[in-house]
């Protein structure tokens, strides 16, 4: 019998989705040649510490490698560093890098992630202006904060507020400007957002909502700022936290279907049956239509499924979303799919903290969010995944353990 050629699997992207896709592809098909292409210069690392431990000096990016202490090579995955992919030759089934090298594939996984949303007023590369996406960004910002007295943070989202907490840990005066009426409007309800905002104020962060910058005067020491409220202040370092946008240019140029991200089916397959995609860059089928998610948990789980399918499986991706953020002593966490219009929105009291937010549709729990209630949220996740009917009165009563609701209907 003729010898069967080993499958070539190429993964583009060194974030959690790409790394997990590569590791899982190799695990699923040990005979496959799996190559991971990353634009960065170093072994792929976890990004959550960048806005926290790396800024405060408690951690280094290399302390938390995605593939483990010995890197992806220990799993027999070939990693190519500084490999900027410039084109996909779909007819010839190869990926081309800026160096001109071609990587042939039988299956290709695109995990190109997101890029920062740049503000024209604060362009990338402007002195004293920082965006946070990579380990290089984090090291530069960490160095700047140690030489600064005042930080201006533009945007009141999760990552920006994590940077604010880290800056205060270092003793840097910090001001957050948010154009919306409140911080975290895309993440949580008004009561939870107000609780988090108050924690920042208690730690010395000045938060100005409904505010824009109307004038900037740059000098050698920093920037003199004028806001739409008529306030004036000086800052010597600026961090822009205006969100991110999906990095799908490579896919679009190859004629793969895109729409605010790379479109995939529930098996992570793109409009080209030989090409899969995973992570932040992807729009995939959710319970309320096509959706994109930007968080670590989704990236890892989606990458895992994409890697298995690139190696020949046909597994569907049906996640229960999960996100978290750490700010000061607050562990903020959400689980499930927030419905556009919940049938019931319940606040379950939590001693000393903001209430646990619970949303129901059709008598079942579909979403939960809370602060420093990891155990309750773990139970809530199981209630959501099992679609167990719940009693709203019991959910609202803190004397009724969520565990009992789970066990009573097990």
The CATH code of the domain that includes 59 is 3.50.50.60
Q: 298 and 280 in one domain?
A: yes
**pLDDT band, residue 406 (cuts 50/70/90):** confident
Residue 34 within a domain: yes
- Residue range 207-211: average pLDDT? 95
With a pLDDT cut of 90, the percent of the chain lying above it is 92
Q: 168 and 125 in one domain?
A: yes
Predicted local distance difference test score (pLDDT) of residue 351: 86
Q: 263 and 229 in one domain?
A: no
Residue 319 within a domain: no
DSSP H or E stretch at residue 22: helix 16-28
Residue 324 within a domain: no
Q: 210 and 152 in one domain?
A: yes
Q: 206 and 157 in one domain?
A: yes
The CATH code of the domain that includes 341 is 3.30.390.30
Sheet holding 330-336, edge to edge: 322-327, 330-336, 364-371, 353-361, 344-350
Residue 320 within a domain: no
Orientation angle between helical segments 135-145 and 158-169, nearest 10 degrees: 40
pLDDT at 281 over 70: yes
**pLDDT band, residue 408 (cuts 50/70/90):** low
Span 228-273, pLDDT tens digits: 999 999 999 999 999 999 999 999 999 999 999 999 999 999 999 9
Paired sense of beta strands 205-209 and 173-178, if any: parallel
Predicted local distance difference test score (pLDDT) of residue 1: 44
pLDDT at 409 over 80: no
pLDDT at 297 over 70: yes
Compute CA distances 39 → 85, 341, 350, 392, 403, whole Å.
8, 41, 45, 49, 45
Compute CA distances 166 → 92, 156, 339, 364, whole Å.
48, 14, 32, 38
Q: 338 and 362 in one domain?
A: yes
Predicted local distance difference test score (pLDDT) of residue 349: 94
In the chain, the number of structural domains is: 3
Tell me the three-class secondary structure of 329-376, residue by residue.
Answer: CEEEEEEECCCCCCCEEEEEEECCEEEEEEEEECCEEEEEEEECCHHH
Q: 127 and 101 in one domain?
A: no
**pLDDT band, residue 372 (cuts 50/70/90):** very high
Which of 216, 240, 264 marks a domain boundary?
Answer: 240
- Residue range 160-171: average pLDDT? 96
The answer to whether 78 and 165 are in contact (CB under 8 A) is no
Q: 356 and 285 in one domain?
A: no
Residue 2 within a domain: no
pLDDT at 3 over 60: no
Residue 263 within a domain: yes
* Average pLDDT in the chain: 94
Which of 215, 240, 265 marks a domain boundary?
Answer: 240
Q: 153 and 254 in one domain?
A: no
User: Which residues face 233 on adjacent strands?
Assistant: 225
- Residue range 76-84: average pLDDT? 97
Which of 240, 264, 291 marks a domain boundary?
Answer: 240
pTM of the entire predicted model: 0.93
Span 7-57, pLDDT tens digits: 999 999 999 999 999 999 999 999 999 999 999 999 999 999 999 999 999
Q: 57 and 137 in one domain?
A: no
Q: 123 and 110 in one domain?
A: no
Predicted local distance difference test score (pLDDT) of residue 4: 74
Span 388-398, pLDDT tens digits: 999 999 999 99
Residue 315 within a domain: no
- Residue range 91-117: average pLDDT? 97
Q: 251 and 216 in one domain?
A: no
Span 323-339, pLDDT tens digits: 999 999 999 999 999 99
The range of the structural domain enclosing residue 171 comes to: 119-240
Residue 129 within a domain: yes
């Amino acid at each position: 019998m003729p010898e069967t050629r080993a499958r070539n699997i190429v993964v583009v992207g060194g974030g959690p989705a790409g790394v997990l896709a590569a590791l899982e592809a190799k695990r699923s098909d040990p005979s496959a040649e799996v190559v991971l292409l990353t634009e960065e210069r170093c072994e792929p690392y976890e990004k959550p510490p960048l806005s926290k431990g790396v800024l405060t000096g408690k951690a280094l990016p290399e302390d938390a490698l995605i593939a483990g202490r010995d890197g992806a090579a220990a799993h027999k995955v070939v990693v190519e560093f500084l490999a900027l992919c410039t084109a996909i030759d779909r007819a010839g089934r190869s990926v081309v890098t800026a160096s001109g090298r071609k990587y042939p594939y039988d299956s290709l996984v695109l995990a190109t992630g997101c890029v920062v949303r740049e503000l024209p007023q604060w362009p990338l590369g402007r002195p004293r202006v920082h965006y946070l996406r990579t380990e290089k960004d984090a090291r530069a910002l960490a160095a700047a904060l140690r030489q600064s007295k005042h930080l201006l943070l533009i945007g009141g989202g999760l990552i920006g507020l994590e940077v604010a907490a880290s800056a205060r840990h270092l003793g840097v005066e910090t001001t957050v400007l948010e154009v919306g009426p409140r911080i975290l409007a895309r993440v949580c309800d008004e009561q939870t957002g107000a609780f988090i905002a108050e924690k920042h104020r208690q730690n010395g962060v000045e938060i100005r909502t409904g505010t824009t910058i109307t004038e900037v005067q740059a000098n050698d020491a920093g920037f003199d700022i004028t806001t739409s409220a008529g306030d004036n202040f000086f800052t010597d370092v600026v961090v822009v936290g205006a969100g991110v946008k999906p990095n799908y240019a490579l896919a679009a140029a190859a004629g793969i279907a895109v729409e605010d991200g790379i479109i995939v089916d529930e098996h992570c397959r793109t409009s080209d049956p030989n090409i899969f995609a995973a992570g932040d860059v992807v729009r995939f089928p959710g319970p309320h239509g096509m959706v994109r998610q930007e968080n670590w948990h989704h990236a890892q789980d989606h990458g895992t499924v994409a890697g298995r399918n690139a190696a020949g499986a046909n597994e569907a991706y049906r996640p229960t979303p999960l996100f978290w953020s750490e700010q000061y002593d607050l562990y903020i966490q959400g689980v499930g799919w927030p419905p556009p219009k919940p049938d019931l929105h319940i606040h379950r009291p939590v001693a000393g903290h903001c209430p646990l937010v619970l949303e129901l549709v059709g008598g079942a729990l579909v979403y939960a969010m809370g602060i420093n209630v990891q155990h309750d949220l773990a139970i809530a996740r199981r209630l959501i995944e099992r679609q167990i009917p719940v009693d709203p009165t019991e959910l609202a009563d803190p004397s009724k353990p969520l565990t009992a609701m789970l066990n009573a209907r097990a």
